[in-house]
Structures are given as C-alpha cells and as structure tokens.
C-alpha cells in the first residue's frame, strides 16, 4: 500500500463534508501566489484564504520559471487575477546547494549528465526575488496594472513579511 492509498482513505472523509461544489474557477480575491513547495508552508491557512480565493503556484524555491509564467498568463488572461505575490521562505532548501553539487549527485546516483539544467538555487532572498521580478516583467506577458509583491515566510513563526527590493 502506497502513502497515496492511505491519503485516499483520508479523502473519503474529506469528501463527506465537502460543500464547495459550486465554486467558480476565477479566484475570488484576484490574486496568484507563487511560493515554494516546502512542506512546512500552507499558504491558504497562513494568509487566511479559503478554497476558491487564490491561485497557488508552487515549485522548488518559489522561483519564476517559464512554467510559472505560463501559469500566471493563464491566471490573468483567462481567470482574471491582477496581483502576484512571490513568497520565499526562511530555511529554504534552495539556499543549501549549488547547481554543481546537485549535478554531481545526479551523475553519481543516476549516471545522467544534468549540466543543461539550472535548479535555480540562491544565496540571497533579496537578490533572487529581484531577479525573479525582473524575469517576470521582462517577459512582457503580465497585465500592465499587475501588483507584484515579494515576501518571505518565516517557517519558525508562521509570519510573512514584505521584502523591499
């Protein structure tokens, strides 16, 4: 039995009291949140959101990638969001390795050359947030009136604060 099989059992009870079946797809708060996949972050609870309120786009580090831009364009053009929050967090795993280290590990473990892959690790929240916002604006694919807010979530306190960059 896989972990997912156990989770499916949990889902049975979730579905029993589920009463959000009529929610429209466009997020009610018109916001898309980009954040890290870190298991210690629950963006919905941490921001007082409810089901149907926001898009949450997650990846390792909460970095702006081509695929995040793809999702944001769909979020804005087809589902009406106009605000983007990019939330990194303290003690992020992305602060703990370099591309070279991970490529070496992949070579050792899988015997695959991953030299063409940028895993987007970083050493500074401010720098990487600045770089990501530059990438986002540089794409030219966001609505002109988009509000973009960089922020950091503290995994030890649960607090989120805006970052001036």
Give the residues lining the site for Zn ion (CB under 5 A): 36, 38, 92
* Per-residue CA distances from 31 to 128, 140, 147 (Å): 21, 18, 9
Of the two residues 36 and 57, which places its CB atom closer to Zn ion in the complex?
36
Of the two residues 82 and 135, which places its CB atom closer to Zn ion in the complex?
135
Annotated binding site: 36, 38, 89, 92
| Nearest-approach distance from CB 66 to Zn ion, in angstroms | 19
Of the two residues 72 and 87, which places its CB atom closer to Zn ion in the complex?
87
Return d(Cα 126, Cα 66) in angstroms, integer. Answer: 20
Annotated binding site for Zn(2+): 36, 38, 89, 92
Return d(Cα 65, Cα 18) in angstroms, integer. Answer: 34
Whether 160 and 87 have beta carbons less than 8 Å apart is answered as yes
Return d(Cα 38, Cα 153) in angstroms, integer. Answer: 11
* Per-residue CA distances from 152 to 27, 61, 80, 86 (Å): 22, 11, 25, 8
| Nearest-approach distance from CB 24 to Zn ion, in angstroms | 31
89: helix, strand or coil: strand
Residue in the block written with tokens 């890290």: 36
| Nearest-approach distance from CB 20 to Zn ion, in angstroms | 28
Of the two residues 113 and 154, which places its CB atom closer to Zn ion in the complex?
154
Residue 135 CA to its chain's centroid (Å): 15
Of the two residues 79 and 120, which places its CB atom closer to Zn ion in the complex?
120
**HSE (side-chain half, CA atoms, 13 Å) at 106:** 15
| Nearest-approach distance from CB 39 to Zn ion, in angstroms | 9
| Nearest-approach distance from CB 119 to Zn ion, in angstroms | 12
């Amino acid at each position: 039995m896989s972990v997912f099989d156990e989770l499916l059992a949990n889902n049975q009870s979730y579905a029993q009291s589920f009463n959000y079946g009529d929610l429209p797809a466009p997020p009610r708060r018109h916001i898309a949140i980009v954040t890290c996949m870190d298991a210690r972050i629950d963006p919905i609870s941490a921001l007082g959101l409810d089901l149907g309120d926001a898009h949450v786009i997650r990846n390792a580090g909460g970095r702006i990638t081509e695929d995040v831009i793809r999702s944001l364009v769909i979020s804005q053009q087809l589902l009406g969001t106009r605000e983007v929050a990019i939330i990194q967090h303290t003690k992020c795993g992305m602060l703990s390795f370099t591309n070279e280290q991970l490529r070496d590990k992949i070579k050792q473990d899988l015997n695959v050359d991953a030299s063409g892959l940028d895993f987007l690790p970083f050493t500074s929240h401010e720098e990487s947030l600045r770089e990501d916002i530059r990438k986002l604006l540089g794409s030219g694919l966001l609505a002109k009136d988009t509000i973009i807010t960089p922020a950091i979530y503290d995994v030890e306190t649960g607090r989120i604060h805006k970052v001036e960059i």
